[in-house]
Each structure stands twice: as structure tokens, then as C-alpha cells.
Amino acid sequence: MLEAVKLNSNKLQLKGKDFLQLADYTTEEILYMLEVAQELKAQQKQGKPHPHLGGKVLGMIFEKSSTRTRVSFEVGMLQLGGHAIFLSSRDIQIGRGESISDTAKVLSRYVDGIMIRTFAHETVEELAEHATVPVINGLTDLQHPTQVLADLLTILENKGKLAGLKLAYVGDGNNNMAHSLMEGAAKVGMDISIASPSGYLPNGEITERAIKFGQQTGSTVTITNNPQEAVKDADVIVTDVWTSMGQEEETAKRLEAFQSYQVNAELCKLAKDDYLFLHCLPAHRGEEVTAEIIDGSHSVVFDEAENRLHAQKAILKLLLG
């Protein structure tokens, strides 16, 4: 099994690399990012300035609304000595039909990195193809790697390790959180079990990829329709909203499909006594999770939200620094 060991930073050079999905990074690189995030967090808590990105500018394109992603990247750049520019798709020419490739080429002349939060994953891939500066995926319908890096940081802080733990995800398996969690968990040696109803199972290609990662790190990837099976003996339980942005017309259908996939006290009894509960937020209390669980003693959702800042700063420092 893998251990979150101290790594030699001189061996890993990530400057100029894109951050589109965790599958693009090695186990060592992911662990190194977590190590840097811990160091930056400690420096902030100690009041030590860390202006590693003085004079650097991050352009942030938003086609989806945001709280944690926008604030964490904007504050992160400020704390690193740089600056962030908010670019709503309603205000820049991409919202009026300018091509992704032209937008990438233009922004690359102005900024040192681009973060984008959008719908289609292909948009992020095309942006990265034509940009000459690092592109960071702040969220697509397919992947949410910046959130999962923060999740891994939160688990590591609370459990002291990642390898050998079991993570259970309950809910919509065909969403960005489930996909990035599968890749991230498998890369760091965590077992992961996804419980979703038929018709909402994870993307097949991503599942196969995660299974291959798991074979390299000694972890397992399990897909099931049974939430009790997934949660049994879990160290970490994760869920997400049943209806994501852009799926609002499916709300009634999804409420019916996922009604037996709620994370509640009865389900959590099957997990280990010291399990952690994570949710990327925003949450719909009473739907995917009860208030008793998300506001209970096992919940670390606000530590997790804070860690978006520290994980994002690690990404920014390593890719732009």
C-alpha cells in the first residue's frame, strides 16, 4: 500500500502543466501537491507571508455560478502575491460567439494562467490545446479535480494517511464528483465504492481508467446499486446533490430515482465508528443528506470547504510559480 510520504520537491517539476483531471497526474505528483498545500496552509495559519506569485495574473472564466471556486482562487492568488481577474461568460466575447481557440490565444497574451468553470469538458480541453499558459479545470460536468484535491487534503489531515482507507460515494455516479473521486482515490491507494441507481452509473471510460490506477496502487474500485454495501466499513462517506447545475428539468425524476440513496443516520451506522462525512457543497439538507449527518460530529464539510483555498494555492504555486 502507498503511504503519504515526504517527497523531494526537486524531483517534481509541474510548472507550465495543465490541471484538467487527476488522471493526468502521477501518484507522486498528487501527493506532492498535497504536501505543498499543507505547507502553505501552515504558513498562513502562522501568519507567514508566502508571495510566490508576485506579479502573476490568473484569468478566471465562469460559465457556471460559483462560491467556493471563485473565492478560493481569487483569495489564493492574492495571498500568493498575485492577482485574479473574474471573467463572466456574459461579459467577455466568448459569450457572443468568439471561438474557444481565439479566446485561449488572446488570454495567453495577457495572463499567466487560466482557470475555467464550465459545462462541457471538451471546452476545457480545447482551451488547453490552444492556450500557451497553464489551464486549470475549475469544474465541468465530467470532472471536478480541484474539489477532490481539497477532499484528499481533508481526509489526510483527519486520518493521517490515504492509502488503505475506504471511501464510499452515495448518489449520482454519473457526475463530476464521482468521476474525480474515483480517479483521485485510486491514484493514492484508497479503496472506493460508488453506490448509484441504474441509469446513473459512472462514465465507463473513467471507471476503467480508475480500475487500472487501482491495480497499480493496490486499491479497488467497486460500482454497486446497493448503498449499504458501499458504506459498510467505510472510513469516509461522500455525497453530492442529486440535481446538478443544468439538470433542473430532471429534478422530479431524480428525486424519485435517488430516494433510497440518502445519507442518513441509519446508513451511516454501517460505516466505521470514526468515519468522516464530506460534501462539496452547496447541500440540499433533507435530500441527499439529512441535517443530522451534515451538521453532526462526523462532518468535516467546512474544513473541506476551507481546504479548497489551500489546495488551489498549491496548484497555482506549482503550475504558475
Residues in the annotated binding site for L-ornithine = 176, 240, 244-245
Supply the pLDDT for residue 283: 97
What mean pLDDT comes out for the span 39-53? 97
* DSSP H or E stretch at residue 167: strand 166-170
Query: Is 308 one of the annotated active-site residues of the chain?
Result: yes
Query: Is 96 one of the annotated active-site residues of the chain?
Result: no
Between strands 236-239 and 166-170, the pairing is parallel
Supply the pLDDT for residue 11: 63
Supply the pLDDT for residue 300: 98
Q: Which residues of 284-297 are buried (b: 16+ CB within 10 A; e: fewer)?
A: eeebbbbeebbeee
What mean pLDDT comes out for the span 266-290? 98
Between strands 236-239 and 57-62, the pairing is unpaired
Q: 3-class SS at 260?
A: helix
Rg (CA), the chain: 19
Q: What band does 2 get if pLDDT is binned at 50, 70 and 90?
A: very low
Residues in the annotated binding site for carbamoyl phosphate = 66-69, 93, 117, 144-147, 280-281, 308
- As a whole number, the mean pLDDT across the chain is 95
Q: Which residues contact 205 (CB under 8 A, 6 or more apart)?
A: none
CA 31 to chain centre: 14
Q: Which residues contact 91 (CB under 8 A, 6 or more apart)?
A: none
pLDDT in tens, 73-126: 999 999 999 999 999 988 899 878 899 999 999 999 999 999 999 999 999 999
Least confident range from 1-15, 33-47, 99-113: namely: 1-15
Residue 88: phi, psi to the nearest 5?
-70, 140
Percent of the chain residues topping a pLDDT of 70: 97
What mean pLDDT comes out for the span 208-226? 98
Q: What band does 51 get if pLDDT is binned at 50, 70 and 90?
A: very high
The active-site residue out of 121, 144, 209, 254 is 144
The active-site residue out of 18, 151, 235, 240 is 240
Query: Is 46 one of the annotated active-site residues of the chain?
Result: no
DSSP state of 126: H
Which residues make beta-bridge pairs with 117? 62, 139
Residue pair 245/65 in contact by the 8 Å Cβ criterion: yes
The active-site residue out of 38, 79, 117, 121 is 117
Query: Is 240 one of the annotated active-site residues of the chain?
Result: yes
The active-site residue out of 52, 279, 280, 312 is 280
CA 304 to chain centre: 10
Which residues make beta-bridge pairs with 115? 60, 136
Residues in the annotated binding site = 66-69, 93, 117, 144-147, 176, 240, 244-245, 280-281, 308
Give the position of cell 500568493: 80
**Alpha carbon distances (Å) from 232 to 192, 227, 257, 259, 312:** 12, 9, 22, 19, 32
The three grid cell numbers given for residue 68, joined into one nine-digit string:
467556493
Least confident range from 2-11, 31-40, 277-286: namely: 2-11
Which of 154, 133, 132, 129 shows the shortest CA–CA distance to 311? 154
Query: Is 52 one of the annotated active-site residues of the chain?
Result: no
Sheet-wide strand order for 135-139: 83-88, 57-62, 113-117, 135-139
The active-site residue out of 147, 179, 279, 310 is 147
Residue pair 180/148 in contact by the 8 Å Cβ criterion: yes
Query: Is 144 one of the annotated active-site residues of the chain?
Result: yes
pLDDT in tens, 143-168: 999 999 999 999 999 999 999 999 99
The active-site residue out of 254, 279, 308, 310 is 308
Supply the pLDDT for residue 241: 97
What mean pLDDT comes out for the span 271-299? 98
pLDDT in tens, 178-210: 999 999 999 999 999 999 999 999 999 999 999
Give the C-alpha separation, 22 to 292, whole Å.
32
Which residues make beta-bridge pairs with 191? 166
